[in-house]
Amino acid sequence: MQHILIVEDDIAFGTMLQTWLRRKGFEVEKATSVGAAVKLLTETFGKEVDLVLSDLRLPDHDGLRLLAWMHEHDINAPFIVMTNYAEVQNAVLAMKSGAADYIAKPVQPDILLQKIKDAMEQNAQQASSTIQNAPTAHNSKFKTQNSCSGKRLYEPSAKLTAPRHIEGKSEASRQLYSYVELVAPTPMSVLILGASGTGKEYVAHRIHDLSARVDRPFFALDCGAIPRDVAASEFFGHKKGAFTGADSDKRGAFEMANGGTLFLDEVGNLSYEVQVQLLRALQERRIRPVGGTQEIPIDIRLVCATNENLEEAVGEGRFREDLYHRINEFTIYMPKLSERGSDLFLFADLFIRHANEELNRTVEGFDSEAAELLASHSWPGNLRELNNVVKRAVLLTRGNKITTAELTQAMGQIRTDNVLQLHDEDTERQRIITALQQTNGNKAKAARLLGVDRKTIYNKIEKLGI
């Protein structure tokens, strides 16, 4: 039977949780303070506890003090934080200190039960590596981060070089990367579907990094930004003199990726003629540069991405069905940021660290009201929108925490940029033309003026014949 320790100073709530979890088949003890929890872990459980479910605010110490004590004593049970909604951001940042997950009050029983099962399962899978690494990694980490007062739950990490990417800990993220790990070692072609700004290229990189081709090239080609008349050259290369402007030989994407992975972003934007050429290259595994006479054998693993509905495009005759099946041996769906739960704050924290490094700031995070505002927004632009808002907020912030004033201003600037968002085709055409005139034909600046990404404006210019 699995053992759970509840640390909760609300006696009625703690008793209710204890009774409910016992009905679910767990052996459950409860404590009302960090001191009482330490005593139970020392005298009753020893090191045999399977999970600790702790409130963040306790009468004698911060709940993270208990987590630090557990790591210092090599008790590697997963630790789930319970917190009020206004402190959600601090709870999520506490996960950086080693907490497995958090749940906001009022607790939803089904969600709590799933989090408990997930945490226990993940802990069991990582037990051997955790035991090996715990004496050095955990002890040094917690002595540094938890020696401060209980009111500060998160030490700013701006002095450290932030990772460029994180994968998140939500159920949607775990499911996503379980599929990545499943398909990566295979030779199957992968189609990544998802809205703009969800991180499709990072997932393509992870597939490559976890494959047998990791030591070979990864080459990305943005199909949405390729003019139709040079598409064949971009894919297959060209020989000197093949056309006006071909002053030297050029290797195309297939040659650049030979032996490794070719990532075609926004593959749904390829013209029908280029789709035919692409299909032939994939079928025959040979290419011929434009103007060349010799065919070149190629060996690539293909990963494609799009935010379009390719099945619908096939039905409308805009995308070849045989090519669709060729590139779609395995499909990965990218969750929207709004579907990734607590990952929102993990990503926001990462973007704060990036902005600190880029702008030479030392912003630590969000205050509780700003965190609530952050959580209430739907983030239709996903990670890209969040990154832009956070960077603006860091620039605007004069204190050590982002408040609602800076966050509202940063989000307001995004909305102001989106005044010219695109709608019907006639309106789209006129607005794009106006934006191009205002920016002297600079497509990247026009895209920013319209509040869309660069790929979108290239796609619209091609589609509308501007």
Q: Which tops the pLDDT comparison, 240 or 211? A: 211
| Whole-number average pLDDT of the chain | 82
pLDDT at 413: 58
List, in order, residues 6 or more apart from 420 with CB less than 8 Å away.
431, 435, 449, 450, 451
By CB neighbour count within 10 A (0-12 exposed, 13-18 middle, 19+ buried), where does 35 fall?
Answer: middle
Tens-place pLDDT, residues 318-375: 999 999 999 999 999 999 998 888 789 889 999 999 999 999 999 988 887 888 888 8
Alpha-carbon distance of 252 to 234, in angstroms, equals 5
* Helix or strand run (H / E) with residue 366: strand 365-366
pLDDT at 88: 58
Tell whether the model's pLDDT for residue 8 goes beyond 90.
yes
Tell whether the model's pLDDT for residue 416 goes beyond 70.
no
Q: How confident is the model at residue 257 (pLDDT cuts 50, 70, 90)?
A: very high
Q: How confident is the model at residue 431 (pLDDT cuts 50, 70, 90)?
A: confident
Alpha-carbon distance of 311 to 317, in angstroms, equals 10
Q: How confident is the model at residue 405 (pLDDT cuts 50, 70, 90)?
A: very high
Alpha-carbon distance of 38 to 68, in angstroms, equals 11
Alpha-carbon distance of 209 to 190, in angstroms, equals 14
Alpha-carbon distance of 81 to 102, in angstroms, equals 4
pLDDT at 110: 81
List, in order, residues 6 or more apart from 286 with CB less than 8 Å away.
295, 296, 297, 298
DSSP track, 160-213: SPPPS-----SHHHHHHHHHHHHHTTS---EEEE--TTS-HHHHHHHHHHTSTT
Extract the tokens encoding 224. 């949405």
Tell whether the model's pLDDT for residue 140 goes beyond 70.
no
The owner of tokens 């600190």 is 356
Alpha-carbon distance of 67 to 97, in angstroms, equals 9
Tell whether the model's pLDDT for residue 202 goes beyond 90.
yes
What single DSSP character describes residue 263? E
Q: Which tops the pLDDT comparison, 192 or 238? A: 192
* Domains defined along the chain, listed by start: 3-145 (3.40.50.2300), 186-333 (3.40.50.300), 337-418 (1.10.8.60), 421-464 (1.10.10.60)
**Helix ranges, 217-342 (H):** 231-236, 253-256, 272-284, 310-315, 321-327
* Helix or strand run (H / E) with residue 455: helix 454-464
Q: Which tops the pLDDT comparison, 301 or 98? A: 301
